[in-house]
Structure 1
Amino acid sequence: MKRILFLLLVSMCFAGSSEAQLLSGKHVFSKADSLRGLLTPLRTCYDINYYHLDVKVDIDQKFISGSNEFRFTATQNFSRLQFDLFSNLKVEKVMYNGAELPFSREFNAVFITFPAEIKKGSKQSFTVFYSGNPVIARNAPWDGGFIFTKDRSGNPWVSVACQGFGASSWWPTKDHQSDEADSILISVSVPKNLQEISNGRLRSIVERADGYATYNWFVSNPINNYNVTLYIGKYAHWADTYAGENGKLTLDYWSLKEDSTVARPHWDADVKPMLKSFEHWFGQYPFYEDGYKLVHAPFLGMEHQSAVAYGNKFKKGYLGRSYTGSTWGNQFDYITIHESGHEWFGNNITSKDIADMWIHEAFTSYSEVLFCESNYEKEAGSDYIISSRRALLNKSPIIGYYDVNTEGSSDMYYKGANMIHTIRQLINDDEKFRNLLRGLNKTYYHKTVTTREIESYISKVSGLKLDKFFDQYLRHAKIPVLEYKVVNGLLSYRWITDVKGFDMPVKVTVKDETYTLIYPTNDWKTIKTNIREDAFKADPNFYIGVKKVI
């Protein structure tokens, strides 16, 4: 969900600003960036099996304290490893087999040394105890950190959002998307007059002598670090079920008590139609064991696995208006649909490196198109995705820099979605396209992936040669431009691209009001036509530029 000042970009684009730039200029990365983003032997030497995060939240002092147990399998022999925790949080001690381990810190990385070599294949554990005042988000979820606020009645309302910023901003972890814990127990202690919601299923609530209550939530599926979360407040709860592809899926809704009367009908309007649409297009909901929850949050939204954050003020569209500008975007709640779509792309299928975050955002943005199509008509989906292009900048690639925890351009959302829409046109078989999307979620079920793996899968299943196509759309800022001219009944055309040998077919009007597939390359080609030069156009379902040559 983490947009990069997207609304500002939209307004700049609508205004025709020539100053709109993103990720332009020279990039300088630091040792801290590498420690966070690079998979060194000190990180790959162990594979996380399980965490037990146990944290107490002192709301008045904006202070957290607690521990995290790391259970892991050694992937090689080693005696030293790295975990991550922001430097503003204090590591109190690290315990291993009943004794404290020595540790050192460099920026937000922590290094521990074991008393004897850990052997490959062995299963071990250590526990980190920590405390401190976590970073407070200035404008969540655009920037990361804790949110300490109050509801309209003056009750505390607390949560955290940390995509990109880092789970290690509030708990000790191996903070890299490539290694998901197979399961996690999340124990959060809060004042006992409040409720606390986290990912997974609630196992117990234990009242403490200090006026706090500990909520124990267990996640039985693999989960990426930034999705682990908490919500604290005065909540109302109601439950339902959905008859899905894998049987009965539990649905749990948590809104602030003061908003429950408006929340119930609003969420009811979208959640089951969303699940029906996404299970049709993507396959079964990926986390039946942990259920589906929609939780009222003190920020706009985030794809927290099995506990989706919602903060769209119970309005249709995006805070009351269509996100892409299409009128169809006013028919549903953008946050409910988009953030829930991440359960398939982002949570089920997770990019190993955040540089490949387009895998999360492009497919999830396209889920909005498919929701429109499922619930209204195919033309509604086309109008929705074509309308999104007015906000695209095409100033920098949508793949970021690898190994330094840096994502690409915000164009990854709707440029990526338009790229997928173009692939759909090239496949020209909606059932084959649907099976491709379902196949992705089945093949990479609960796995982390790279861009190359996704490219290879799509090319293989579609039967299309897409290497140059992906290079142009993913690794270059500009989209392909179809140059053309019509002279004396002859249509001449060619591609202008960064990638040499680009040869994507495209549908154009060779005859009046009829689209015909042509096969441009970087060299001029000519065919006969009866179309007038001023009437020539390309099928708008292909995301390309079109330029008349004089």
Structure 2
Amino acid sequence: MKKLLLASSLLLTFSISAQEFTRKDSLQGGFSFERISYDVQRYDLNIAINIEERSITGYNDITFKIVENTSKIQVDLFENMQVDSIVFEGKKLNYKREFGAVFLDFGKPLTKNFSDKKIRFYYSGKPLVAKNAPWDGGFVFNKDVNGKPWIGVAVQGTGASLWYPVKDSQSDEPDFGASIKVAVQNGLMNVSNGRFLGSEDLKNGYTRWDWEVKSPINTYNITVNIGDYVHIHDNLDGLDLDYYVLRNNEEKAKKHFEEVKPMMNCFQSKFGKYPFAQDGYKLVETSYLGMEHQSAVAYGNKYRKGYAGRDMTGTGIGILFDYITIHESGHEWFGNSITSKDIADMWIHEGFTTYSESVFVECLYGAEKAQEYLNGQKRSVQNDHPIIGQYLVNKEGSTDMYYKGAQLLNTLRHIVNDDEKWWKMILKYSETYRHKIIDTKTVVDYFNTETGKDLTAIFNQYLNYTNIPILEYKIEKNKIDYRWKTDVTDFKMPAVLKVGSKEIRLDATNDWQSYKVKAKKEEEISFENKRFFIKLSKN
């Protein structure tokens, strides 16, 4: 993402962490010239996974074009993985390694627009094993109830270069997709992203399973799922719905995944057509809880409603649907289709996707239930650190990017105060930035334009500060004084005054203002704080 976020004429300021960052952090999260000088067009991954050794051998063909004259580029691969050789135009390239960065030297200048060339990057090694996926990155080696191997991988935040050579930055997705060919021991299947192209018995105890993605794809979304899977196929108005589940769970899955169709109908009505129709939609059963792997969504909620069988909102609504199915599928629109350039802006993924949960609730159960669900999520907001992380060092912000991000969007909806307009804006947002890489500035500029309001200070307060807006007020006879207390200056946001059954929208700012009210009792006077994520402070 960007270092500076200019929206309208105001500069969004960032909370500066005292944390020290290293050269290693900058190489992983930054935009070195050796990274930005080339654009990835396609990945073609061809590997074998030895389950007993927990090792990988193979190569990745990286097709690229040069966008700035250079003789060197940066490709990433974790330090514990071995670079075997890198071949370009039939010759091995020289390279240097610095932490997880591999700097390739072509030995000659490559000029701008030099395209449709590829390197073949041979590698091997034992990738890191996750201790608690998906919250930490790595491979997951497990066994199913029949004792058969059951393998997966989740690397969001940690980095795709944990297990394959790649430009490990959300700023660049392969324009023409990827192929993922994975050889595993006979009797097991590998399921990866996109469409299944076929399998081949390699006559050495391994079978290779071939998959292809034609859409651009986040590198952390490229995945492998190895197990004794059975395939369930369904269809929704021409969209392929495929489920790969453990053999013992076939009948259970057929019933449980009936939820997918109403979800898909809801999301397509609000966010536009499923963004990866050419690659199909899949749920793949995993031993870890879940992950938004594009067109191969990892599902590990064990066919339960709620989040691991629990209602995280305390409202009773969160147990009406399978959180993992809904949330991780929502990422197909927000995170996979619309992607943040820098991991510091991951709220663009998680805030919108968490909000999509309430959208699903609204589609099925109505607006009041959706608002109740959102209010239940407020209790999970920590207000511990800013939502936006540190740029250029692979540093996410607070986990408040989930629930506080959703609250920000719900607050914006009620600032707009016109549901027809709001849903048109959300649909247009999803379609405008479909398959695009954006940053926070882009989001702020979009909502400023579409609402016709300068919302910059509002975004700034919620994203870059731990405090939420405090509406201070005092009541004296037939007059109420009110103002917003915020970290940012020039903060303007409506305050909804309730006098009995009547609502009055006041244009509140950081300055004290007064409004004359007529009420028989002071108890009849209050401010709305259910539809807005704010605090009330009566003086």
What is the TM-score when the length of structure 2 is the normalising length? Answer: 0.95
2:221 aligned to 215, 227, 235, which one?
Answer: 227
| Cα gap change, 1:472 to 1:25, in 2 (>3 Å) | closer
State how far apart, in whole Å, the 1-side matches of 2:319 and 2:95 are: 53
State how far apart, in whole Å, the 2-side matches of 1:342 and 1:25 are: 28
RMSD over aligned Cα atoms: 1.2
State how far apart, in whole Å, the 2-side matches of 1:514 and 1:105 are: 67
Name the structure 2 match of 1:4: none
> Structure 2 regions of 5+ residues with no counterpart?
1-14
1:214 aligned to 197, 208, 219, which one?
Answer: 208
The superposition leaves residues 301-329 of structure 1 with CA deviations (integer Å, 9 ceiling, x where unpaired) of 00000000000111001111112222111
Name the structure 1 match of 2:158: 165
1:250-399 superposed matches below 5 A: 250-268=240-258, 270-399=259-388
Alignment length (residue pairs): 521
Correspondence 1:186 to 2:180: yes
Conserved 8 A contact 2:189-2:226: yes
Name the structure 2 match of 1:544: 534
Correspondence 1:79 to 2:71: yes
Name the structure 2 match of 1:140: 133
Give the letter for the 1:526 counterpart: S
1:131 aligned to 102, 120, 124, which one?
Answer: 124
State how far apart, in whole Å, the 1-side matches of 2:202 and 2:436 are: 38
Conserved 8 A contact 2:529-2:536: no
Conserved 8 A contact 1:512-1:530: no
SS of the residue 2:105 aligns to: strand
Give the letter for the 1:524 counterpart: W
1:154 aligned to 147, 152, 155, which one?
Answer: 147
The structural deviation recorded for 1:279 is 0.4
State how far apart, in whole Å, the 2-side matches of 1:522 and 1:429 are: 25
SS of the residue 1:350 aligns to: strand
State how far apart, in whole Å, the 1-side matches of 2:409 and 2:265 are: 21
2:503 aligned to 512, 515, 525, which one?
Answer: 515
Conserved 8 A contact 1:479-1:544: yes
State how far apart, in whole Å, the 1-side matches of 2:158 and 2:78 are: 10
Name the structure 2 match of 1:483: 472
SS of the residue 2:527 aligns to: coil
SS of the residue 2:508 aligns to: coil
State how far apart, in whole Å, the 1-side matches of 2:68 and 2:511 are: 53
The structural deviation recorded for 1:534 is 4.4
The superposition leaves residues 338-360 of structure 1 with CA deviations (integer Å, 9 ceiling, x where unpaired) of 00000000000000000000000
The structural deviation recorded for 1:241 is 0.5
SS of the residue 2:277 aligns to: coil
1:62 aligned to 51, 54, 68, which one?
Answer: 54
Conserved 8 A contact 2:495-2:527: no
The structural deviation recorded for 1:428 is 1.4
> Structure 1 regions of 5+ residues with no counterpart?
1-22
Correspondence 1:524 to 2:512: yes
Correspondence 1:30 to 2:22: yes
Identity %: 45
State how far apart, in whole Å, the 1-side matches of 2:220 and 2:378 are: 29
Name the structure 1 match of 2:31: 39
Name the structure 2 match of 1:114: 106
State how far apart, in whole Å, the 1-side matches of 2:17 and 2:449 are: 36
The structural deviation recorded for 1:24 is 10
The superposition leaves residues 72-106 of structure 1 with CA deviations (integer Å, 9 ceiling, x where unpaired) of 01001110111100000000000011111011101
The superposition leaves residues 186-242 of structure 1 with CA deviations (integer Å, 9 ceiling, x where unpaired) of 000001200110000011201102110111101000001000001000111110101
Runs of 4+ aligned structure 1 residues displaced above 4 Å come to 531-535
SS of the residue 2:459 aligns to: helix
SS of the residue 1:530 aligns to: coil
Correspondence 1:455 to 2:481: no
State how far apart, in whole Å, the 2-side matches of 1:498 and 1:241 are: 50
The superposition leaves residues 391-450 of structure 1 with CA deviations (integer Å, 9 ceiling, x where unpaired) of 111121100000000111000111010100011011112121111111112111111001
Give the letter for the 2:312 counterpart: Y
1:429 aligned to 408, 413, 418, which one?
Answer: 418
State how far apart, in whole Å, the 1-side matches of 2:412 and 2:438 are: 20
1:202 aligned to 179, 188, 196, which one?
Answer: 196
SS of the residue 1:388 aligns to: helix
The structural deviation recorded for 1:130 is 0.4
Conserved 8 A contact 1:538-1:546: no
Give the letter for the 1:238 counterpart: I
